[in-house]
Chain A
Amino acid sequence: MFNILQKWLPKIILSPSIFLVTVCIYGYVAWTGYLSLTHSRFLPNFKWAGLLQYQKLMENDRWLTSCINLLVFGVLFIVISIVLGTLLAILLDQNIRQEGAIRTIYLYPMALSFIVTGTAWKWILNPGLGLEKMMHDWGWSSFKFDWIVSNEMSVYTLVIAAVWQSSGFVMAMFLAGLRGIDSSIVKAAQIDGASMPTIYWKIILPCLRPVFFSAVIITSHIAIKSFDLVTALTSGGPGYSSDLPALFMYTHAFTRGQMGLGAASAMMMLAGVLAILVPYLYSELRNREQ
């Protein structure tokens, strides 16, 4: 009896999690997928609609704006965070005194929620009272910085706040990568007479390829699910000029009674994540086999 129990115990322990993951992740994804093919509005309505919701989505100006915004925000956020993070990591890797303290300062924003970050930057970017006023007080009276209330520029304020929040974390990843590089390679190159910039450009940075890919995956994941930041910083405004898909989904599914449309937009977000993730996992697995 005891032995039989022992044999089954691992499966028994794992089974609630298996159940939860199967139902609450995969089952729910299927459920949302099904909702996106119905006429659901305020309440789920199981009348089949085919691809109608997707068609409505593609014709929706606000959705198109939010996708373009995500592209602009995502690309800028990812590129700037990675460039800045790599640069800071390389500079911090030069036997810097007080390295620990500086690292702590660069990383602390990551401990904060995007709601706090958004609140703080909303105040700093406040035209008339924030940065603009400070520059006027300091004597630069023609300084103008009203991106947050501008239709064309508000999406860039998201980039500022998100880079501030996440670049320190990218720095930490690259710093860990740099520390993992065999120092004898660098010494050999130095003996051969290569200059430091050449060594970094030709030898060290190529070694950091895996770190680079994880950084892209992580920052793009942050970008696609950015909901809190845009809610706190601009609420998608002015109008819907800084809307992102995550906010679009929330608004339509929960406050505007467009459940089918919201579900369709969520499925599109999932498709976006898969488009980035699947090639990455594929190449990872292939590298491992080699």
Chain B
Amino acid sequence: MTKFTPGRLFIYLILLLFCAVYLMPLMVMLLTSFKTLPDIRGGNLLSLPDVWVVEAWAKAWGSACTGVTCEGVKGYFWNSFKMAIPAVFISTLIGALNGYVIAHWRFKGSNLFFALMLFGCFIPFQVILLPMAATLGKFGLANTTTGLVFVHVVYGLVFTTLFFRNFYVSVPSELVKAAKLDGAGFFTIFFKIMLPISKPIIMVCIIWQFTQIWNDFLFGVVYSGSDSQPITVALNNLVNTSTGVKEYNVDMAAAIIAALPTLFVYVVAGKYFVRGLTAGSVKG
């Protein structure tokens, strides 16, 4: 292929240097989480543990103090799943139906609605926090997982609709028209023509929504109660607890636990992850 010149060597060196920079924090987190506290004080960020111990992991999972309770992050880890799975499922389903209507069953006003939705992708969530809190309170959903699911569905559906609409627009409208002439109805066309070809966009949508919802902190910290806090809120409470000796190894283990599900998705479905990022990158 290409010849190996000093110039190319230089390029490789820079690229590898940046690999080291990007990997360093993850390495530091992993190494720290396997050290004992005296080892942390004696060594440094990148020194290997004297002895590899998993106590910090056990403590982070089962007995570390997150604010007032001392039961580790395990409950919050499951809370995040309980919140993310229904929210991802519902918002993807609504997005698919909306996108299908907007792309192939246009009616007066549907374009205007789509424009309003697009604009909604950009609003800073601070501007809806207070009224949403009042609404959740009024319906008895404050401090519940159901309330969080509702919030994530509402503010996720603008993105999922956008994904599916952009995907379905590329389906030739002649195909849909022909099916209509053959007497196929709204749902027949959706289930027989649209859904079978939707696998890539469904993947993008699920991954996008899952990472957004799993990583969310703002809605979690404002709307969750002590029983429904997601893992991001618990991690922040754990790290910022000021009582007692600071256990950096436990902090790092908890941070990795909080990161594992999305890292797993990234490694397993990286291709769709990047596509989702570039397709809906406005949410950030």
> Is A bound to B?
yes
Binding site for B on A (CB under 8 A): 2, 6, 9-11, 13-14, 16-18, 20-22, 24-29, 31-32, 35, 44, 88, 91-92, 94-96, 102, 104-117, 119-124, 126, 129-131, 133-134, 136-137, 164, 168-169, 172-173, 176, 214, 217-218, 221-222, 224-225, 227-228, 231-232, 235, 245-246, 249-250, 253-254, 259, 262-263, 265-267, 269-270, 272-273, 277
Q: B126–A225 contact, CB under 8 A?
A: yes
Chain B residues with Cβ below 8 Å from A9 are 185-187
Q: A20–B157 contact, CB under 8 A?
A: yes
Question: What's the Cα separation between A201 and B46 when bound, in Å?
Answer: 39
Q: B185–A270 contact, CB under 8 A?
A: no
Chain A residues with Cβ below 8 Å from B281 are 169, 173, 214, 218
Q: B217–A231 contact, CB under 8 A?
A: yes
Contact of B122 among A11, A254, A277 (CB under 8 A): A277
Q: A105–B25 contact, CB under 8 A?
A: no
Q: A95–B116 contact, CB under 8 A?
A: no
Quick check: which of B48-56, B61-69, B262-270 contacts chain A, the rest being far away? Answer: B262-270
Q: B265–A111 contact, CB under 8 A?
A: yes
Question: What's the Cα separation between A124 and B105 when bound, in Å?
Answer: 54
Q: B154–A115 contact, CB under 8 A?
A: no
B142 at interface, CB cutoff 8 A: no
Q: A124–B186 contact, CB under 8 A?
A: no
Chain B residues with Cβ below 8 Å from A221 are 122, 282, 284
Q: B14–A129 contact, CB under 8 A?
A: no
Question: What's the Cα separation between A27 and B187 when bound, in Å?
Answer: 31
Chain A residues with Cβ below 8 Å from B263 are 108, 111-112
Question: What's the Cα separation between A25 and B128 when bound, in Å?
Answer: 7
Chain A residues with Cβ below 8 Å from B78 are none
A158 to chain B, nearest CB (A): 15
Question: What's the Cα separation between A90 and B13 when bound, in Å?
Answer: 14
Evaluate whether A222 and B284 lie within 8 angstroms (CB atoms) in the complex, with A14-B98, A94-B8, A124-B25 already known.
Answer: yes
A101 to chain B, nearest CB (A): 9
Counting contact residues on chain B (CB < 8 A from A), the size range is: 35 or more
Q: A225–B284 contact, CB under 8 A?
A: yes
Evaluate whether A164 and B22 lie within 8 angstroms (CB atoms) in the complex, with A115-B232, A115-B236, A123-B28 already known.
Answer: yes
Question: What's the Cα separation between A273 and B124 when bound, in Å?
Answer: 7
Q: A113–B232 contact, CB under 8 A?
A: yes
Q: A21–B113 contact, CB under 8 A?
A: yes
Chain B residues with Cβ below 8 Å from A95 are 1-2
Q: A44–B134 contact, CB under 8 A?
A: yes
Q: A91–B126 contact, CB under 8 A?
A: no
Question: What's the Cα separation between A10 and B98 when bound, in Å?
Answer: 9
A164 to chain B, nearest CB (A): 7
A278 to chain B, nearest CB (A): 10
Chain A residues with Cβ below 8 Å from B216 are 113
Chain A residues with Cβ below 8 Å from B187 are 9
Which residues of B51-106 have CB atoms within 8 Å of chain A's CB atoms?
94, 97-98, 101-102, 105
Evaluate whether A109 and B282 lie within 8 angstroms (CB atoms) in the complex, with A124-B28, A267-B127, A270-B123 already known.
Answer: no
Evaluate whether A269 and B126 lie within 8 angstroms (CB atoms) in the complex, with A94-B8, A122-B239, A227-B218 already known.
Answer: yes
Q: B131–A27 contact, CB under 8 A?
A: yes
Beta-carbon nearest neighbor of B11 in chain A? A91
Evaluate whether A105 and B278 lie within 8 angstroms (CB atoms) in the complex, with A24-B154, A222-B284 already known.
Answer: no
Contact of A228 among B12, B218, B278, B282 (CB under 8 A): B218
Q: Besides the contacts A13-B98, A26-B120, what 11 more A-B pairs have beta carbons closer than 8 Å?
A: A10-B186, A16-B94, A96-B15, A105-B22, A107-B274, A113-B262, A120-B26, A124-B24, A124-B28, A221-B284, A250-B218
A-B contact pairs, 30 of them (CB 8 A): A10-B105, A13-B186, A14-B97, A21-B158, A24-B135, A28-B127, A32-B130, A91-B11, A92-B15, A95-B2, A96-B11, A104-B270, A105-B19, A108-B22, A111-B266, A113-B216, A113-B232, A115-B235, A123-B29, A133-B44, A136-B44, A214-B281, A228-B218, A232-B236, A235-B240, A245-B126, A246-B126, A254-B129, A269-B126, A270-B127
Q: B186–A26 contact, CB under 8 A?
A: no
Quick check: which of B166-174, B192-200, B248-256 contacts chain A, the rest being far away? Answer: B248-256
Chain A residues with Cβ below 8 Å from B105 are 10
B138 to chain A, nearest CB (A): 12
Chain A residues with Cβ below 8 Å from B46 are 134
Contact of A217 among B1, B32, B282 (CB under 8 A): B282
B258 at interface, CB cutoff 8 A: yes
B207 to chain A, nearest CB (A): 10
Q: B124–A270 contact, CB under 8 A?
A: yes
Which of A2, A31, A168 gathers the greatest number of chain B CB atoms within 10 Å? A31
Evaluate whether A88 and B18 lie within 8 angstroms (CB atoms) in the complex, with A134-B46, A218-B284 already known.
Answer: yes
Q: B132–A176 contact, CB under 8 A?
A: no
Q: A173–B117 contact, CB under 8 A?
A: no
B273 at interface, CB cutoff 8 A: yes
Contact of A120 among B25, B124, B128, B130 (CB under 8 A): B25
